[in-house]
């Protein structure tokens, strides 16, 4: 008997939930490395991600895809651009969490889907329905509220949203798969990462890897914490329908928001609450419109 039309989405759901759950609890993991300077931690994160990617490539026998990408100058140029964007994004995220701006990090990834949608309009010439335009407008009002009442966190949020949105756009247009692309991105970021870790090793405080086995293990865990959710998400994206992926995309910043409120006990200012509520309304409207469109097309 043939499978129901919705079966692919159900099959990809565990991987998508796992990826967003890992991203959502990332602030709790960053507590373990809060004594490590942000830039040094990101550098070690890249160093420990590359061996894991190479091991998975060898296991899947996908080294040929990496060689093809290396032989294509346009693909390499795109990956260099995406590497810069994801590197900046990682640094901004770690700085935001380590300096107590958990809500700023959460807001940045709430803005992200709408930022990506705007890039789709401008660069990919995609179209929006009237309801989706209303969703964009609601989110814009929310950001304006935050700008009026919390200027000190707005820069973090917008910078994280812009860098990851540009990263996603470049990766969407680059002719390379998820695993091969991540491997080459970490390879491109490896030289500056080695320089950064070496510079910190020469400082009076020494390298983070010399602060004891507990810190060293926590820093090394940054490799799997980077690679695993990206690979899980890539696997889910091949199996799930677009509507469900778009809906689940907001799960991780929601977890971050709740962690900021109940775990980190950050003060929730009225401007921040209004901004989040408007963005949640925008999310609901956008997802409802996509579901309605799919139902009409069925």
**What phi, psi does 174 have (nearest 5°)?**
-80, 140
Residue 210 covered by a domain: yes
Total domains, the chain: 1
Query: d(Cα 184, Cα 169) in Å, to the nearest integer?
Result: 17
Q: Kindly provide the b/e burial profile for residues 2-41, where b requires at least 16 CB atoms within 10 angstroms of the residue's own CB.
A: eeeeeeebeebeebbebbbebbbbbbeebeebeebbbbbb
Residue 47 covered by a domain: yes
Q: What pLDDT is attached to residue 217?
A: 94
Residue 222 covered by a domain: yes
Residue 96 covered by a domain: yes
pTM for the structure as a whole: 0.80
Q: What pLDDT is attached to residue 31?
A: 84
Q: What pLDDT is attached to residue 9?
A: 43
CA geometry: angle 270, 272, 278, nearest 5 deg: 100
Q: What pLDDT is attached to residue 151?
A: 72
One DSSP character per residue, 79-143 reads HHHHHHHHHHHHHHHHHHHHTT-HHHHHHHHHHHHHHHHHHHHHTS-----HHHHHHHHHHHHHH
Query: d(Cα 251, Cα 264) in Å, to the nearest integer?
Result: 18
Residue 1 covered by a domain: no
3-state secondary structure (DSSP) of residue 9: helix
Q: What pLDDT is attached to residue 155?
A: 79
Query: CA of 66: how far to CAs of 75, 79, 86, in Å?
Result: 11, 12, 19
Tokens of 23: 């991203």
Q: Are residues 104 and 125 in contact, defined by beta-carbon separation less than 8 angstroms?
A: no
3-state secondary structure (DSSP) of residue 48: helix
Mean pLDDT, consecutive 10-residue segments, the chain of 298 residues?
A: 42 82 87 88 93 91 89 92 92 84 78 78 77 83 75 81 87 83 92 95 91 92 88 72 61 80 79 80 81 74
Residue 239 covered by a domain: yes
Residue 188 covered by a domain: yes
Domain residue limits at 232? 7-297
Query: d(Cα 88, Cα 173) in Å, to the nearest integer?
Result: 20
Q: Are residues 45 and 222 in contact, defined by beta-carbon separation less than 8 angstroms?
A: yes
Cβ neighbours for 168, distance < 8 A, ≥ 6 positions apart: 116
Residue 2 covered by a domain: no
């Amino acid at each position: 008997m043939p499978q129901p039309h919705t079966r692919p989405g159900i099959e990809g759901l565990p991987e998508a939930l796992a990826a967003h759950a890992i991203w959502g609890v990332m602030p709790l993991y960053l507590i373990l490395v809060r004594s490590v300077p942000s830039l040094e931690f990101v550098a070690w994160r890249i160093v420990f991600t590359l061996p894991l990617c190479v091991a998975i490539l060898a296991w899947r026998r996908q080294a040929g895809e990496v060689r093809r990408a290396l032989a294509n100058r346009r693909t390499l140029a795109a990956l260099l651009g995406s590497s810069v964007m994801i590197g900046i994004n990682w640094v901004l995220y770690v700085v935001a969490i380590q300096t107590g701006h958990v809500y700023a990090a959460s807001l940045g990834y709430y803005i992200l889907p709408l930022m990506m949608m705007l890039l789709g309009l401008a660069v990919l010439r995609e179209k929006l329905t009237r309801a989706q335009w209303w969703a964009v407008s609601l989110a814009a009002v929310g950001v304006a509220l935050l700008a009026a009442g919390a200027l000190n966190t707005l820069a973090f949020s917008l910078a994280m949203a812009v860098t990851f949105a540009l990263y996603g756009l470049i990766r969407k247009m680059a002719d390379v798969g998820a695993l091969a692309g991540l491997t080459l991105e970490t390879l491109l970021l490896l030289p500056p990462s080695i320089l950064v870790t070496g510079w910190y090793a020469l400082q009076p405080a020494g390298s983070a890897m010399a602060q004891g086995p507990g810190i060293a293990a926590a820093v090394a865990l940054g490799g799997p914490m980077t690679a695993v959710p990206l690979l899980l998400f890539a696997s889910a994206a091949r199996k799930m329908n677009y509507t469900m992926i778009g809906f689940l995309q907001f799960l991780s910043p929601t977890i971050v928001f709740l962690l900021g409120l109940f775990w980190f006990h950050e003060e929730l200012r009225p401007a921040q609450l209004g901004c989040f509520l408007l963005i949640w309304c925008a999310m609901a409207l956008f997802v409802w419109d996509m579901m309605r469109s799919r139902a009409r097309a069925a």
